[in-house]
Every structure is written in structure tokens, then in C-alpha cells.
Amino acid sequence: MLITFFRAIILYIIVLIVMRAMGKREIGQLQPFELAISIMIADLATIPMSEIGVPITNGIVPILGLLLMHLIISILNMKSLRARQIICGKPRILIYRGKIDEKALKKERFTINELQERLRGKDITSLGDVEYAILETSGDVTVIKKPEKRGTIPEDFNIQPDYEGITYDLVIDGQVMYDNLKAIGKNYEWLKKEVGKFKIKPEDALVVTIDGKNQIFCQAKA
């Protein structure tokens, strides 16, 4: 049992390293070849994890081989448009200028109900609100609403909003984010002074952030 425990830990670490090397993607954003490799890696790790009689290398070597294949295919994708189209396919327009393309739906084996389901996932309840719907190579559906159905933006009223920038985490669970302090041109003494206004020390904060308007949010640990 102890051997199985350690084998599981080793394989978990290997799979984790391989998945990190493959890049950050959500499941729904995986290309077909990435999904296939992910499934195969899971299967290859399961066998030596549960079967003590199977050498652990029988799982590690094929997993590393799949990682190599992934890297090769990824390079081909970046270097060659033709290879990218063969491996990943091409986006397909399902709704063009407000009209559903029946041929495109049939080629992608997409039903009207599935299309409506995807649109509801984008907070669109009526097909009549859609100008374009594009089925991406990842399987996600990108939707562009008709002009009269889109939400208004400041530009529509010739309004120039104030610059907001991004929010930086300065303290998380009592740990000071020194890299972020450096990025905004501040130091620990400045942080200590600002957090002191909330009558706590940085190390006693659950979270401290600063936004583009230099407004600080601070909450103490419970």
C-alpha cells in the first residue's frame, strides 16, 4: 500500500509538470489535439498508479512522449497556417448577418437547439438579436449582437472615462507581494504606513489591494 501511495505521488507530480508545460487553458478552450493528449495522459497515469506489477516508467515515458508531441504540434501551429487549419480546423460562421446558415450547422452537426443553448450561455435569449455567431476551433461560440441590441458604451455619448489601470495585490493572506510593490514604485515602509491607517500591520491583513486610482482596499484576517 505504501508503494502505491508513493507511485501515485510521483505520477501526480509528473502529470502536473506536463500539464503546466502544455500551457494554461480552460477545458472548454482546448484544441482537439490538446484534449486528446490530456485524456491519454490521464489514462497512462492511471495504469501504473493502480497496478503495482507495472513498472512506473511504463507510465512516465509515454507521458513525456505525449508532451514532446504536444510541443511539436504547437510549434507547427505557430509556424504554419496550413498545418494549423489541418490540426485545429477553421472557425465557421453559424449566423451571418442575422441569418442562420443551415449548411454550416449540418457540416458541424450542430442543431438549432444546441445553438440556442450556446446563445443562452451568452445571455442571449432571442436568435433575432444576433448579427454573427462564429463557432471557434475550441468549440466555443463567439457572438456579435445586432447594433441596436448592443449595450451602450461611453464612446456612444462622446464621453472619455477616467483611466482606471489594473488592481495590484499588495498583501495576500498576510504575505507581502514585494514584486507588486516594486511594480508600482513603492516599498514596505509605504505599505506599512498605508495599512496602518486601518489600524493593522501588513502581516495581519487578509488582503490589501491598490487600484489605478490609488484607492486601497484592506481587510484584516479574522
**pLDDT tens-digit readout, 176-212:** 999 999 999 999 999 999 999 999 999 999 999 999 8
Band (pLDDT 50/70/90 cuts) for residue 28 is: low
Domain residues of the chain, as ranges? 2-86, 92-149, 168-220
Topology classification of domain 92-149: CRO Repressor (3.30.240)
- Residue 106 has what pLDDT? 92
Residue at 114: amino acid letter: E
State pLDDT tens for residues 38-53: 888 888 888 787 777 7
Note whether 115 and 105 are within 8 A (CB). yes
- Residue 163 has what pLDDT? 76
Topology classification of domain 168-220: CRO Repressor (3.30.240)
